[in-house]
Amino acid sequence: MKKMHNVLATIKRESAKELNLFFLALSFFTRIPVPKSMHYSPSKLNQANRYFSLVGLLLAVLQGGIFIIFIQILPLSIALLLALAAGLILTGAFHEDGLADMADGIGGGLTTEQRLSIMKDSRVGTYGVVTLTSIMALKYLLLFELAQQEAANPLSFVITLSLGFALSRALAASLIFNTPYVSELSGSKSKPLASAQSRQELLILFLVALLPALFFSFYQVMTILLLLALFRVLLRTWLIEKIGGFTGDCLGATQQISEVIIYIVLLASYTITLY
C-alpha cells in the first residue's frame, strides 16, 4: 500500500511539473491567461520548449473554432480575415514581430553588431514592413484557397491549421538544439529559452507536432518534412553566416516562413490532384 501511495504521489508530482511547463510555454507565446500559481524560472522556461508545438495546436483549435463560427454567418473571405485577426490578438503578433525585426536587422545591418542592434530596436523599418506585409498577404491567400478546398468540411481546415501551427513551431524551436545563441543584448525574446534543448525535448516537440499529420497522405507529409528539413539547413547556415547563430527574432521568423511552406505544399498537392 505504501509503495502504491509513493507511485501515485510521484505521478501527481510529475504531472504538476509538466502542467507548469505547459503553462509557462503558453504564457510566453500567447496572451491567454494562465493560473497565478504557475512557477517561473529561466531553467523551467527553457524546459518548456517541449510544449511549443502543443501551444500551436491549442492556438489552431481556437483560431479554427473562431473561423467555423464566423463562416456560418459571413462570407469565407471575411470569416478568414477575422480568424486571422483573432490569432494575432491571441499571440500578440509575437512571431510576426520577430519576422519583421529579423528582416530589418539582417537586411539593414552591415556587421553582426549592427544587425543585432537593429533587431533589438522596437521600430519597424522598410525591410520589416515589406517582409511582414508580403508574408501576411501570402498566408491569407494560401489559407483562403485551402479553406475553399475544404469548404464542405470546416473541421478539415482546423486540421490544416493544426499542422501548420504545430509543425512550424517545432521546426523553429529545433534551432535551439544545435545552433548557437548569439545575442547578449537585453530584451531578447529567446534569452530564457536558448541555453539548451535535450534530445527528449526535441522528440516530444516533433511527436506532438506530427499528430495532425495522421490526417494527411504519406506523400503530403513526406514532401512537407523534406522541404522543411532543407529550409532548416539553409536557414541555419545563413543565420550563422550573418549573425553567428540565432536570436528570438530568428525563431519567430522561422515559424512564420515554415508555416507558409506547409500551406504551399498542401495547396500544391490539392491542385495537382485536381489535374
Q: What is the pLDDT of residues 99-122, one digit of tens each?
A: 999 999 998 888 989 999 888 888
In a domain, 148, yes or no: yes
Domain count, the chain: 1
Q: Which domain, by its residues, includes 58?
A: 49-274
Confirm if 103 and 170 have CB atoms less than 8 A apart: no
CB atoms near residue 261 (< 10 Å): 19
Angstrom CA distances, 253 to 7, 33, 82, 272, stand at: 43, 25, 23, 29
Task: Summarize pLDDT for 84-98 with one digit per residue, the tens.
Answer: 999 999 999 999 999
Q: Is residue 167 assigned to a domain? A: yes
**In this predicted model, what pLDDT tens digit does every residue of 244-273 receive, in sequence order?**
999 989 999 999 999 999 999 999 998 886
Interatomic CA distance for residues 116 and 101, integer angstroms: 9
At position 221, the amino acid (one-letter code) is V
Taking 80 as the threshold, does the pLDDT of residue 43 lie above it? Answer: no
With beta carbons less than 8 A apart as the criterion, state whether 93 and 80 touch.
Answer: no
Mean pLDDT, to the nearest integer, of 225-242?
A: 96
Dist. CA 163–CA 57, nearest whole Å: 8
Q: Give the confidence band of 76 by pLDDT, cuts at 50, 70, 90.
A: very high
Q: By percentage, how much of the chain surpasses pLDDT 70?
A: 90
Asked if residue 196 is part of any domain, the answer here is yes
State the CB neighbour count (10 A cutoff) for residue 32. 14
How far is the C-alpha of 174 from the C-alpha of 206, rounded, in Å? 9
Asked whether residue 42 is assigned to any structural domain, the reply reads no
User: Rounded to whole angstroms, how far apart are CA atoms 170 and 206?
Assistant: 6
In this predicted structure, what is the pLDDT of residue 191? 47
SS3 for 13?
Answer: helix
Query: How does pLDDT run across 190-223, given as a tens digit for each residue?
Result: 444 545 688 899 999 999 999 999 999 999 999 9
19 in a domain, yes or no?
no
Is 14 a member of any domain?
Answer: no
Predicted structure pTM score: 0.91
Distance (Å, whole) CA 254 – CA 196: 18
**C-alpha cell of residue 242:** 550573418
Assigned domain for 119 exists = yes
d(C-alpha 231, C-alpha 267), whole Å = 18
Q: At what angle do helices 76-91 and 94-108 cross, to 10 degrees?
A: 80
Q: State the alpha helices, DSSP H only, in 1-51.
A: 2-29, 42-47
Predicted pLDDT at 2: 63
Torsions phi, psi of 190, nearest 5?
-105, 0
State the SS3 of 190-223: CHHHCCCCCHHHHHHHHHHHCHHHHHCCHHHHHH
In a domain, 16, yes or no: no
Whether residue 4 has pLDDT greater than 70: no
- Among 182, 195, 46, CA closest to 119: 182
**How many residues does this entry show for the chain?**
275
- pLDDT tens per residue, range 132-169: 999 999 999 999 999 998 777 889 999 999 999 999 99
